[in-house]
Amino acid sequence: MINSDDIRKWLVSSGVLNKVGKPSRYIGKELNRVIKDPDDKLRILLSFPDTYEVGMSHLGLKILYKELNKTDEFYAERAYLPWKDMIEEMISARIPLYSMETYTAAAQFDIVGITLQYELCYSNVLALLDLAGIPLLQKERTTEPLVLGGGPCSTNPEPMADYFDAFVIGDGEAVTPQICIEVRENIELLRSGRRRELLELLSKIQGVYVPSLGRRKVVKAVIADLSDYEIDPSPLVPYMKTVHDRAVMEVMRGCNRGCRFCQAGMIYRPVRERGVDELRESVRKVLKATGYDELSFLSLSTMDYSAIDVLTEEILPLLEPQRVALSLPSTRIDSFGVEIASQIASIRKTGLTFAPEAGSQRLRNVINKNVSEDDLMATVKAAKNSGWQRVKLYFMVGLPTERDED
C-alpha cells in the first residue's frame, strides 16, 4: 500500500507540478492548516467533489474542519477532486486521492465525508471514490472507510443512496461529531468487516440516514443556537486565488422569505442569528489571522439580519484603517438596502447585487418573490443617486409556468 512519504516524494521529485495547471491546488501547507500526530486518532477525510478553488470557497467544509479538529481524539483532513490533467498524472503514476495535510491516501482513513452541494457534482463523487480506490457501491465495501454524505442535496438522498454508507441530514455541526464518537468507540466493527453492526448504531443518531437498512423516518439535525459554535478565529488561507477569495463569516442561518423556488430557504429553517458583539470580536480575530482585504457577511438574505444597521456601524470602523472592503451576498430591493450598501461602500465599493429572479410580475408572484417592478426601478434609481455606476441582477430561466413573454 502506498504511504504518505511515497506521495510526498512523487509530488516533489516527479516533476508533476510543472506539468499541471494551478499546481498550488495539490500541495497543501496553507496558513492556519491543522497538523496533528495521526497516531491513535480517528481519521476523517473531508472531501469536496470539485476543484480546490471551488471547495476552498465553501464555508461548510471549513466549519466541520474546525469543529472536528478541536477534539483531540479526531484528526480531520481535506481532499478535493483534482482537475483532469492531474487525475491523468495520478492514474499514470498509481497515486490515489490523498489528504492535503499529511498526503495520506484516502482509503487509509476511517471516514471519508463528501459534501453534496449541487446535483451536477454527482458524477464527480464517483470520480473521487474511484480515484481513492474505494468501491463505488456501498454494498461492495467491507473494511474500507465509511463514506458519509452531507450538505443540501442529502435532503433528497435516494439518487446517491447506492454509493454512500450513510447521510447526514440537517446541520452538520450537530451530528458529525456524534458520528465520529460512535465510530471511534466501535472502530473494531469497521476494521473487522462488521460494517452493518456499526451502521445500525449510527442510524440511531438524529439526522443520520443509512440506505442499506431500508427507508426509515429521519428527523433532521438542527442546532438551536449558532453561537454555541464559535466562528473559526484562524480560518484556512490558500496560496492561490479561489472563487470567493475573502474572509467569510456566517451571520445568520435560515431565511424568513419563503420563496417557492428556494431549496435552501426550506431546508435551513428555522432562522437563527449570531449576536453583534460576537461578530465584532470574530471580525477582529479573523482579519488578524488571515490578512484578507475583503470580508463577506454570509447568509441566505443578509439584509434581513435583524440588526444589520447596528452591525454595519460596529464593523466598519474595524475595517477602515486597513481599507478592508465589506461585501454582502445580495442586497434587499428597497431603499434601506441601498442605504446600507452605500455605508459599506464608504471604504471601497465591491458591487451591488439584486435578485428579481423572474422577468415578469406574474412569474414573480408564482414563485412568491415579493418584489415588484416599481421596487426594482426605485432601488436602481436610489443606487444611481448614491453614486453606484453598475448593478448585477440575478434571474432564473425555466421556472414552472414560464412563457416566452415572461
What confidence tens digit (pLDDT) does each residue in 319-340 have? 999 899 888 776 667 656 777 7
Q: 255 with 115, same domain?
A: no
Mean pLDDT of 384-397: 86
In the predicted model, what is the mean pLDDT of residues 261-275? Answer: 92
Assigned C-alpha cell, 215? 427507508
Same domain, 292 and 186: no
pLDDT recorded at residue 46: 98
How many Å separate Cα 101 from the centre of its chain?
A: 19
Which residue range forms the structural domain that includes residue 256?
Answer: 246-395
pLDDT at 379 over 90: no
Residue-wise pLDDT for 242-258, tens only, equals 998 999 999 999 988 88
Q: Where are the alpha helices (DSSP H) in 106-168?
A: 122-132
DSSP string, 318-338: HHGGGT-EEE-SS--SSHHHH
Higher pLDDT, 239 or 349: 239
Domain-located, residue 59:
yes
Question: Is 367 contained in some domain?
Answer: yes
Domain total in the chain? 2
Q: Single out the residue in 192, 213, 234 at which a domain terminates.
A: 213
The pTM for the full model equals: 0.93
Burial class (CB in 10 A: 0-12, 13-18, 19+), 103: buried
Q: Tell me if 239 is assigned to some domain.
A: no
* In contact, 259 and 247? CB cutoff 8 Å: no
Question: Residue 143: what residue type?
Answer: T
Give mean pLDDT, residues 188-203: 97
Which residue, among 105, 99, 95, 96, has the nearest Cα to 69 in the 3D structure? 99
Specify whether 299 is located in the same domain as 391.
yes
Residue ending a domain, among 213, 235, 268, is 213
Q: Give the pLDDT mean for 96-111.
A: 98
Does residue 194 sit in the same domain as residue 327?
Answer: no
**pLDDT band at residue 349, thresholds of 50, 70 and 90?**
low
For range 126-150, the mean pLDDT: 98
The answer to whether position 226 is within a domain reads: no
- How far is the C-alpha of 382 from the C-alpha of 35, rounded, in Å? 50
Final residue before a domain boundary, out of 195, 213, 231: 213
**255 and 154 share one domain:** no
Q: What is the CATH number of the domain that holds 85?
A: 3.40.50.280
Q: pLDDT for 55-73, tens place per residue?
A: 999 999 999 999 999 999 9
Among 141-150, 277-286, 309-318, 380-389, the range scoring the smallest mean pLDDT is 380-389
CATH at 279: 3.30.750.210
Question: 300-309, 350-359, 366-375, 394-403: lowest mean pLDDT where?
Answer: 350-359
* Residue 206 confidence (pLDDT) above 80: yes
List 252's β-bridge partners, or say none.
Answer: 273
- Among 33-42, 144-153, 283-292, 372-381, the range scoring the smallest mean pLDDT is 372-381
